[in-house]
Structure 1
Amino acid sequence: MIIGAQSALAQIIDIPNPLGPEGLTIPGLVAKIATWLLEIGSVIAVIVILWAALVFMTSGGNKERVTQARQTLWYAIIGLIVLLLASGVAELIKNFLTGNYN
């Protein structure tokens, strides 16, 4: 008697397309990358702000550490503002080039 593989027990693995269900265009890919960079940059900015707060709290009145914490805080805030402005400008350019003025 010969026993073969039973197809009823085989599992079908559905691997989704990483670019989306209908594929992805170059502008769509650029938009996904920009969104990813915005998210990562925002998380990094929040971590740096928390780090500056920690340095400020543990400075113990040391003027050098307080100055370092203030500078770090300002750099993080400026970086976050630049990140958000860049995201907004990129969205404006995309809307202008695609003719979507809403």
Structure 2
Amino acid sequence: MNKTQKIILSLAILGIAVLPFAALAINDPNAGSNPTGSGAINLGGLITAILGKLWIIFGALAVIMFVYAGILFMTAQGAPEKVSAARQAFLWGVVGVVVGIIAFSIVTIVGSLVEGS
């Protein structure tokens, strides 16, 4: 890579890194009405909004883990150590999904019990 290409690449990366800060300059006329921005006016609503976002992230990570395990299976080509690594990745993906579902269930149950009392 010559010097010109390095400079262009550096400027492009710098531009991409700095670009999100332009959004901080936007003036929001509704600022101050709800500091959470989620529409939640109490702690329960805020927790529900946060959990909704976390559930989406969790689902995406679970899909990525299973795709990764599938790629490991396909590229193993019968090699026992690679097949074992793929099985481990799949197993840990399943364990992660089960733990995540249990965690979200516990939070939901505790939240409904607290709201009910």
CA-to-aligned-CA distance 1:13-69 (integer Å, 9 cap, x gap):
97596332xx52222111111121121011101111011011101101111110110
Conserved 8 A contact 2:66-2:90: yes
| Identical pairs, percent | 28
Alpha-carbon distance in 2 for matches of 1:51, 1:15? 43
Gaps of 5+ in 1: 1-12
Alpha-carbon distance in 1 for matches of 2:56, 2:74? 27
Q: In the alignment, what sits opposite 1:64?
A: 81
Partner secondary structure for residue 24 of structure 1: coil
Q: In the alignment, what sits opposite 2:38?
A: 19
- Alignment match of 2:66 (pick from 38, 49, 54): 49
Partner secondary structure for residue 28 of structure 1: helix
- The one-letter amino acid of 1:43's match is A
**2:108 matched to 1:94?**
no
What is the 5 A alignment of 1:4-43? 18-20=37-39, 23-43=40-60
**Residue 93 of structure 1: how far off its partner (Å):** 0.5
- The one-letter amino acid of 1:68's match is A
TM-score (norm 1): 0.74
Alpha-carbon distance in 2 for matches of 1:99, 1:27? 11
Runs (4 or more) in structure 1 with deviation over 3 Å come to: 13-17
Normalized per residue, the structure richer in helix is 2
Q: Which has the larger radius of gyration?
A: 1
